Amino acid sequence: MGTVLKRSFSSSAGRAAIKHVTVIGGGLMGSGIAQIAAQTGHDVTMVDMSEDILAKSKAYIEQSLSRVARKKYKDDPEAGENFMQETTRRLSTNTDTRDAVQNTDLVIEAIIENIDIKQKLFSGLDNAAPQHTIFASNTSSLPIKDLAKSTSRADRFGGLHFFNPVPVIKLLEVIRLPETSDATFQSLVDFGQAVGKTTVEAKDTPGFIVNRLLVPYIMEAVRLLERGDASARDIDVAMKLGAGYSMGPIELVDYVGLDTLKFVIDGESRWNESMPDNPLFNPSPMLNKLVSEGKLGLKTGEGFEIRMK
Ligand SMILES: CC(=O)CC(=O)SCCNC(=O)CCNC(=O)[C@H](O)C(C)(C)COP(=O)(O)OP(=O)(O)OC[C@H]1O[C@@H](n2cnc3c(N)ncnc32)[C@H](O)[C@@H]1OP(=O)(O)O
Ligand SMILES: NC(=O)C1=CN([C@@H]2O[C@H](COP(=O)(O)OP(=O)(O)OC[C@H]3O[C@@H](n4cnc5c(N)ncnc54)[C@H](O)[C@@H]3O)[C@@H](O)[C@H]2O)C=CC1
């Protein structure tokens, strides 16, 4: 542990060099984050609750890596093969969270969007991780400050909000709290750039930048559908061809997860309560019905539009 401390505090601007990353949660987002960190030369440990889940995460990463390799090394399949092997070699898995953070420089949390579970996780991590380790959450919509307060390291805490699919989408929102130190913030920005993202700085306000704009837009589309004003297909075609979006809003909900949208509007994040003047965030009967039937979009194979295909 002493070596790690020395290494991390020795860089010139006082900011930590991120060499080892622990990603907690190996689902849709966590596996993508682990992949890009490993493919850009970081040593990565990915944590989830069972070996079975981690085996699925690894299979998903291999599939995604082969798409990246095909594109990056299209004229040199051998180099593509080496890239895949090197990346896989840098990626390990663990089901023991405390063990996984023993020697890590950065923890990125990407578990279920539940404040109690996230707080419990961070509180345990605070005792287990070295003093220099920076903590970050990939939450879509929970306040970062509510997560940081379960630790004693608010100065080494921030948000790293990636976008789905992580290997493809170029943006990373870096969220800073008033307590986040300059060195921590700069380390997070440096890390974002090291994994190939363009970073933007956001304050800890609901939805940061992208989701604050995207969620109302998506909910307007869901309301159109609920009122029967247009079909899912027509809403999507309209926004793709009429406004230049790569995906229509209904297709996007299926892609991101209906559960994720519900967490934001009237689930864990309760935007319906924090922004009561905006009726878009009121419970949506159509969304609620699909979620209660376990139709969460791509991750379960059925959602708004997928069932129609
Ligand atoms: C909820 C939150 O908190 C925040 C969020 O994430 S909001 C959601 C943000 N995401 C979006 O808005 C997604 C918008 N959609 C898109 O960008 C695109 O539709 C898409 C990238 C998902 C798919 O693009 P597409 O052109 O329809 O399909 P496809 O041809 O399969 O993929 C395009 C490229 O991405 C690559 N790709 C797609 N998914 C990939 C993955 N998981 N891993 C690696 N590469 C992938 C493909 O290999 C393909 O590469 P080439 O161009 O070299 O062929
Ligand atoms: N789905 C999306 O498009 C986006 C989601 N996010 C955020 O990322 C986080 C993860 O979302 P997804 O990857 O979509 O969820 P997911 O449901 O695909 O994955 C969550 C994973 O966390 C694991 N997990 C749950 N509790 C755990 C614990 N205590 N310890 C270790 N692992 C645990 C689960 O087993 C699961 O594999 C959420 O906070 C979400 O709001 C952020 C950006 C985009």
Residue 161 annotated as catalytic: yes
Indicate the top mutation candidate among 22, 23, 28 to test ligand 2's pocket, ranked by most ligand atoms within 8 A of CB. 28
What pLDDT is stored for residue 214 in this prediction?
A: 97
Strand partners, 92: 45
What pLDDT is stored for residue 307 in this prediction?
A: 63
Considering the candidates 8, 57, 137, 140, report the single residue annotated as catalytic: 140
C-alpha dihedral over 34, 192, 172, 174, to 10 degrees?
110
Pocket of ligand 2 (CB under 6 A): 24-30, 47-49, 53, 110-113, 117, 121, 138-140, 162-164, 256-257, 260
- Sequence letter at residue 227: R
Q: What is the pLDDT of residues 170-198, one digit of tens each?
A: 999 999 999 999 999 999 999 999 999 99
The closest residue, in CA terms, to atom 2 on ligand 1 is: 140
Is 240 among the annotated ligand-binding positions?
Answer: no
**Residue 262 structure tokens:** 């519900």
Considering the candidates 132, 138, 173, 187, report the single residue annotated as catalytic: 173
ipTM above 0.95, yes or no: yes
Strand partners, 156: none
- H or E segment at 174? strand 171-176
What pLDDT is stored for residue 309 in this prediction?
A: 44
Q: Are 141 and 271 in contact (CB under 8 A)?
A: yes
Indicate the top mutation candidate among 45, 140, 212, 298 to test ligand 2's pocket, ranked by most ligand atoms within 8 A of CB. 140
Instruction: Assess whether pLDDT exceeds 70 at residue 109.
Output: yes
Instruction: Assess whether pLDDT exceeds 70 at residue 13.
Output: no
Does the beta carbon of 31 lie inside 6 Å of ligand 1? Answer: no
Give the contacts of 224 (CB within 8 A, at least 6 positions apart): 230, 235
Indicate the top mutation candidate among 112, 135, 247, 299 to test ligand 2's pocket, ranked by most ligand atoms within 8 A of CB. 112
What's the DSSP call for residue 197? P
Q: What is the pLDDT of residues 259-295, one digit of tens each?
A: 999 999 999 889 999 999 999 999 999 999 999 999 9
78-117: b (≥16 Cβ within 10 Å) or e: eebeebbeebbebbbbbeebeebbbbbbbbbbbbebeeee
Give the contacts of 220 (CB within 8 A, at least 6 positions apart): 249, 280
What's the DSSP call for residue 176? E
Is 26 among the annotated ligand-binding positions?
Answer: yes
Q: What is the pLDDT of residues 203-245, one digit of tens each?
A: 999 999 999 999 999 999 999 999 999 999 999 999 999 999 9
What pLDDT is stored for residue 153 in this prediction?
A: 98
Q: Are 88 and 5 in contact (CB under 8 A)?
A: no
- Sequence letter at residue 137: S
Does the beta carbon of 257 lie inside 6 Å of ligand 1? Answer: no
47 φ/ψ angles, rounded to the nearest 5 degrees: -115, 135
What pLDDT is stored for residue 2 in this prediction?
A: 36
The percent of residues above 70 in pLDDT, for the chain, comes to: 94
Which has the closest alpha carbon to 189: 227, 228, 134? 134
Compute the average pLDDT of residues 71-99: 96
Contacts of 8-11 spanning 24+ positions with Cβ under 8 A: 8/105, 8/132, 9/132
Ligand nearest to the Cα of 139, by number:
2
**Alpha carbon of 206 to ligand 2 centroid (Å):** 18
Instruction: Assess whether pLDDT exceeds 80 at residue 12.
Output: no
How high does pLDDT run on average in the chain?
Answer: 93
Is 284 among the annotated ligand-binding positions?
Answer: no
**Alpha carbon of 240 to ligand 2 centroid (Å):** 28
Is 29 among the annotated ligand-binding positions?
Answer: yes
**Alpha carbon of 137 to ligand 2 centroid (Å):** 11
Q: Where are the domains of the chain?
A: 2-203, 211-300
What pLDDT is stored for residue 308 in this prediction?
A: 43
Q: Are 188 and 181 in contact (CB under 8 A)?
A: no
Compute the average pLDDT of residues 114-120: 96
Domain 2-203 has CATH 1.10.260.40: no
Higher pLDDT, 6 or 24: 24
185 Cα distance to chain centroid: 18
Distance CA 122, CA 254 (A): 29
Q: At what angle do helices 210-227 and 285-292 cross, to 10 degrees?
A: 90
Residue 211 annotated as catalytic: yes
Distance CA 236, CA 250 (A): 6
Residue 173 annotated as catalytic: yes
Confidence of residue 299 (pLDDT cuts 50, 70, 90): confident
- H or E segment at 235? helix 232-243
Q: At what angle do helices 258-265 and 210-227 cross, to 10 degrees?
A: 100
Does the beta carbon of 79 lie inside 6 Å of ligand 1? Answer: no
Class of domain 211-300: mainly alpha
pTM, whole model, 2 decimals?
A: 0.94
Q: What is the pLDDT of residues 191-205, one digit of tens each?
A: 999 999 999 999 999
Is 41 among the annotated ligand-binding positions?
Answer: no
Which has the closest alpha carbon to 143: 270, 31, 280, 47? 270
